[in-house]
Amino acid sequence: MGTVRLSPHPWSLRHGGWLDKHKKSRRNPAPRPCAANSPFFNGLLASWLAANNVPSAGIGHLLLALLVIFAATGLAWILARRLLVPLVLRGVHKTQTSWDNAFAEHHFFHRLGALLPIVVFYTTADLLLTPGSSTGELLRRLAMALFVVGGLRVFDAMLLGLYDVCRTTRLFEGKPIKGYFGGLKLVAYILAFIFIVAIVTGQSPWGILSVLGGLTAVLLLVFKDTILGFVASIQLSALDMVRIGDWIEMPKYGADGDVIDVSIHTIKVQNWDKTITTIPTYALVSEAFKNWRGMQLSGGRRIKRAIFIDMRSIRFADDDLLARLSKILLLRDYIAARQQEIEEHNQRLGIDPSVEVNGRRQTNLGIFRAYLERYLANHPMINREMTFLVRHLPPGPQGLPMEIYVFCKDKRWANYEAIQADIFDHILAALPHFDLRVFQYPSGFDLRER
């Protein structure tokens, strides 16, 4: 009989046992063993391959590992999609807060749950495939790239949810904060692209960043509008130059309406004819525009309009005109007090009243101006706390302009126009009672009458 030779126990301290191997491993560490090379896994795999008559153990190992990887990934996807995400959403809808509902509307929890299958895919591929194999390296890189893309989608949904939450809070209400979120999204996309390229090529992301740093001039040229728009959106928000809902005018771009959107690149204005004008964001910083927000926040909307008086109709008020105008309720006290003051003044100075230009006299235009002041002061829609003027402008070829400069309490456009029209309807109709005429160029009807 042959001699039976016993091999030393792997835990023995002799014959190159565990202690010697442990000392060698400190000097030359061996690659980390994976589950695919373990005796237990190899035994199970060999039994399965033998039972199924698989001729090649290497291909069988790979196929079985891929089967386990994709099966585990599919189970993780079903678990996340059918159980975890609905459970989280059910809890979200039961809460009293609104921010989690905003996140749910932008599918934040769905995208977050989609990361679980990617993590399972990477973990099972790392455990079941040999670290140095090309298939294992390909699957691991694929899993890392998918994780970056999935994380980017989660970050994007989170930014959209935060934007909705901030937009409805009193602190940020109406402010153009979309530019900040757009800037963060742009930075996230650039970093994600760099990491994906680094994963695919196997290079360090810092090396790629250094290469991009060398191309600074090219990048500045390519992203010029983006950089200008991002800086401009920060200035618009910091200086509170424009908000969503503001009425702005920018004739150069044909914009006259409400701001409906402020982003990094453009500002959208819905004009009063319901057309949409798109303005570059940096144009509102580098060029002049009119913002009507001050009027909307004030106590009134300005009425500034003049009527042109025919100067040939202006004359001194005689006794008949004074008697007729004294019947007007708003002028009764004014004419009496004014006439008494003028007569006392002329008597004190001994002025001959037979000549009209001697001393002081009332004119039909002066009485009409006093009437307008009292009429507007008693108008219920005129704000007396703001600028209140009825004044003459320099006379010209079109006559003497008499300007109304007051503020209407109702700032809504349609109501404002109606109030303004009513006021000037009354003024034009009242002019003949003061023996005044409105100046206008002769028409064909006037020439035909002559």
pLDDT of residue 249: 92
- 358 closest CA partner among 366, 349, 367, 369: 349
Report the distance separating Cα 96 and Cα 93, nearest Å: 8
Report the distance separating Cα 80 and Cα 304, nearest Å: 66
Main-chain phi, psi angles of 255, to 5 degrees: -100, 125
pLDDT above 60 (res 56)? no
CATH of the domain at 423: 3.30.70.100
Buried b (16+ CB within 10 A) or exposed e, 107-123: bbbbbbbbbbbbebbbe
Residues 281 and 412 in one domain: no
Domain with 321, as residue range(s), is: 301-442
Q: Does residue 423 lie in a domain region? A: yes
Q: Does residue 449 lie in a domain region? A: no
What's the pTM value of the predicted model, to 2 decimals?
Answer: 0.56
- Beta-carbon neighbour count of residue 175 at 10 Å? 18
pLDDT of residue 44: 54
Q: Does residue 292 lie in a domain region? A: yes
Residues 44 and 72 in one domain: yes
Q: Which of 274, 297, 320 is the last residue of a domain?
A: 297
Residues 181 and 57 in one domain: yes
Residues 194 and 276 in one domain: no
Share of the chain above pLDDT 70, in %: 79
Q: What is the largest CA-CA distance in the chain?
A: 166
Q: Which of 206, 233, 260 is the last residue of a domain?
A: 233
Residues 102 and 246 in one domain: no
Residues 62 and 192 in one domain: yes
Residues 249 and 350 in one domain: no
pLDDT of residue 337: 92
pLDDT in tens, 21-35: 444 444 444 444 444
Q: Does residue 43 lie in a domain region? A: yes
pLDDT in tens, 295-338: 888 889 999 999 999 999 999 999 899 999 999 999 999 999 99
Q: Does residue 150 lie in a domain region? A: yes
